[in-house]
A = this chain, B = another copy of it.
Amino acid sequence: MRIECIAIGTELLTTRRLDTNSVWLGERLADLGLAFHRKTAVGDSREDLRELFQEALLRSDLIIATGGLGPTFDDFTKELFAEILGVELVEDATARADMMAFYTARNRVPPQVNFKQALIPVGAEALRNPVGTAPGVWWEDPPGHPGVRIVMLPGVPREMKRMWEEQVEPRLRPLAGRARQTLRMVVAGVPESTLDERTRAVREGHGHLDWSILASLTQVELLVRSDDPRALEGVLSDMRPVLGSDLAAVGDGNLEDAVLEGLRLRGHTLAVAESMPGGLLAARLTAIPGASRSFLGGATVYSPVAKSALLGLPAAFLAEHGTVSEATTRALAEAVRRALGATWGLAVTGNAGPGAEGETQVGTVFLAVAGPGETVSTGRLIPGDRADVQLRSTAAALDYLRRQMA
């Protein structure tokens, strides 16, 4: 089955948006044992879209188009497919009812332009949108193209994902080969190239499987796919001794899930104090559902006054040690732990740039963990721009805490 992805939206051609939808779709296809042969991003231009849709109908068995289903003047995915295939658009009663219900639930009246969203090409099926107003389309055997399937989904990732999982995947599963499973190992505190070298022997020992290594700013993922679950169990038991305490999580979770899970299993609680990264550490923890079971909160001490007023650090102490220093970070970790009565206090200070701050170089980060035993602390120099340093410092902090808890 030749599958192609068409991501629609002028913003995908400029710098403002990465096409993350097609990456997510590629992952979901892989789980079905399927893969894209081509992915295209194209602007909201009738001519470019018409040309691309025509080509795609000739070369692909399954066309997945995202975007261009909205109510505005630059949305015409359905309209163009219908035009090329020579059919009319007709209003779908369920799509219209869903849209009315969406607005009614919000005490609003749909703007007139929104009604065009309920139009579906004759012969195609509407895919319901439970989280937005744009229905999708599933179109099997469109006129003149027997065996072809066209899927149109909204470009909004949340809507696209939900509709894919609930409505498209069930329709595709009978067409897919034997489902493959993925073993995902999340490694923290180790650079990608080191992980590559260290795991080479195990990977070569399971060389018939499909491997990939994916590095992000906060962790490295080692992925392996197989249609045989026992093969994946074998990989995991070979990898565990090689990865040791660097293996932060197995499965869907990330580093922050591993930290929250570690706290929950021990019945422990956590409070944080962060100057740089300025709230991002707390935000990454509270992004996880159920975080409130273990995470009590903390202080974003972005100024000297915040360090004194919220956590009681004396101005004289800050004047002596500076706001970005190991001593201050230790004091913050101890103070936030004490203030909230938490099992663990985790503190971060640093300079994410763009400019040097006092005597501290851009990228300087201090971490401290105050816990039931003695307070520990460390200094790091983290490369990258402001956003990188902020994000990487949260990963370094979470990993530092994870290792103290172990």
Residues of A at the B interface (CB closer than 8 Å) are 10-20, 22-24, 26-27, 30, 35-45, 48, 51-52, 55, 59, 70-74, 106, 110-114, 131, 158, 192-194, 196-197, 203, 211-214, 221, 223, 271-272, 275-287, 289, 291-292, 295-303, 305-306, 309-310, 339-341, 353-354, 381, 383-388, 390
Q: Contact between B340 and A305 (Cβ–Cβ < 8 Å)? A: yes
7 A-B contact pairs sorted by A residue (CB < 8 Å): A14-B212, A18-B18, A18-B20, A158-B384, A289-B353, A289-B354, A299-B299
Q: Is the CB–CB distance between B286 and A214 below 8 Å?
A: no
CB of A282 within 8 A of CB of B300, answer yes
Is the CB–CB distance between A48 and B42 below 8 Å?
no
Q: Is the CB of A384 within 8 A of B131?
A: yes
A324 CB to closest chain B CB, in angstroms? 12
Contact across chains for B196 and A111 when beta carbons are under 8 A apart: yes
Q: Name the B residues within 8 Å of A45 (CB-CB).
A: 37
Q: Which of A114, A275, A286, A384 has the largest count of B CB atoms less than 10 A from its CB? A: A286
Which chain B residue has the least Cβ–Cβ distance from A15? B27
Known A-B contacts A27-B15, A279-B300, A297-B302; A48 and B41 likewise in contact (beta carbons under 8 Å): no
| B297 lies within 8 A of A282 (CB) | no
Q: A39-B41, A113-B196 are in contact. List 12 more A-B contacts (CB 8 A).
A: A15-B223, A38-B43, A74-B212, A74-B213, A113-B197, A277-B283, A280-B283, A295-B303, A297-B299, A297-B300, A297-B306, A310-B340
Question: Shortest beta-carbon distance, A362 to chain B, in Å?
Answer: 11
Contact B48 A16 (CB under 8 A): no
Q: Are B339 and A309 in contact (CB under 8 A)?
A: yes
Provide the bound-state CA to CA distance between A340 and B309, in Å. Answer: 6
B339 close to A310 (CB less than 8 A): yes
Q: In the assembled complex, how far is the CB of residue A260 from the closest CB belonging to chain B, in whole angstroms?
A: 12
A1 CB to nearest B CB, Å: 14
Contact yes or no, A390 B52, CB < 8 A: no
Contact B388 A158 (CB under 8 A): yes
Closest 6 CB pairs of A and B: A278-B286, A279-B282, A297-B306, A297-B302, A279-B283, A15-B27
Closest to A38 in B: B42
By the criterion CB–CB under 8 Å, are A303 and B292 in contact?
A: yes
Residues on B with C-beta less than 8 A from A297 are: 275, 278, 299-303, 305-306, 310
Bound: A155/B176 CA distance, A: 31
Let me know if B291 and A278 touch, CB within 8 A: yes
B40–A14 CB distance below 8 A: no
In angstroms, Cα B37 to Cα A51, docked, is 12
Are A289 and B386 interface neighbours, CB within 8 A?
yes
Contact A306 B302 (CB under 8 A): no
A19 to chain B minimum Cβ distance, whole angstroms, is: 8
Docked-complex contact A212 and B302, CB < 8 angstroms: no
Q: Chain B residues near A20: list those with CB within 8 A.
A: 18
A354: shortest Cβ distance to chain B, in Å? 5
How many Å from the CB of A334 to the closest CB on chain B? 14
**Cβ distance A295 to chain B, nearest Cβ, rounded Å:** 6
Contacts of A291 in B (CB 8 A): 278, 302
A302-B282, A341-B305 given; A52·B30 CB < 8 A: no
Question: Are A72 and B196 in contact, with the CB atoms below 8 A?
Answer: yes
Cβ contacts under 8 Å, A10 to chain B: 212
Residues of chain B contacted by A44 (CB below 8 angstroms): 212
The answer to whether A282 touches B278, judged by C-beta atoms less than 8 angstroms apart, is yes
Task: List B contacts of A281 (CB < 8 A).
Answer: 279
From B14, B23, B213, A18 is in contact (CB under 8 Å) with: B23
Give which listed residue, B59, B287, B296, B303, contacts A51 with CB less than 8 A: B59
